[in-house]
Structure 1
Amino acid sequence: MDNETPSTPKGIVWASFVLSIVGVAISTYLTIAHYKGAEILACADTGIVNCATVTTSAQSKFLGLPVSNLGLTFFLAMVVINSPWVWRRNSLLLDRTRVICLVGGMGFVLWLIAAELLIIDHICLWCTGVHVVTFALLLVISRTWSSELLRRSN
């Protein structure tokens, strides 16, 4: 069995890399806000949009770890496996790793969105930015996976 995959289009390579970097930037900002205090967040603190309420809620930690740290770790890993240099390896294992990580990340995002809407009753625009980036990454990466499945089924 061949572990090589055909070359990935440059647009997908660069889109996944740039989205991963954007995810690192937003997650870094949220991590700094976690340790410095939510009051540094450039976000409304009245009405449904209230970053301070969301980032200091009980749901802002998962198994005792700040969710922002988990997001930062996730996106740092995404930067590595979505870097153009790693994409050149054309590895089926890396393709599968990307998909598995993003499906897991998207599952976590859905849980966080549910927590914001159903438990906290507020949303954080910065968190929403992370959610959008994760979803966009999933869409970009899923295009490569769909193409790969079609090629392998023929």
Structure 2
Amino acid sequence: MAYADEFPDFDPGTLPVIPHGWIDQSWRNDACPSFRLPGALVAWIDFADPAQRDAPSQPRFALCRTDDEGATAGTVIAGDDWRSILDAAARHLAGLAISLEWGCAGQIDAENGLFAILHAAIGETPDFDRWSLKATTAEMVAEGLRLLGLEAAA
């Protein structure tokens, strides 16, 4: 699926830069194009011209959590500024791997979840040996966001 095929009236010049690893999952029966970060988030990108939108009064962008099957599981943020959407994506992903107690089961599970998202997005498993040299979860999160093209948003 490609947004250009599913939404031929969507002006490609108005599409913001989509971060690496986000998959075009646009479908013509939806209101607008969408891009998914497997296992984590989906970004909905509506037409730049409100008159072309199904709901002209709604914001142009929406970022939603997804469940394991990819179904929308709640809105993280909606607005008209793409940078704020990317910032929210970075904060959301960083929050998946933050724990105050280093080495606790929850923190390790969260890091493994972040690794799974990275694997789905970049198509390869991160180098765990290299990552284990990082001193903190925050450093691991920063590296993960860098790989996803969201480092400037963190």
TM-score of the aligned structures, taking structure 2 as reference length = 0.30
Higher relative contact order (CA 8 A, sep 6+): 1
Greater strand proportion: 2
TM-score of the aligned structures, taking structure 1 as reference length = 0.30
Greater helix proportion: 1
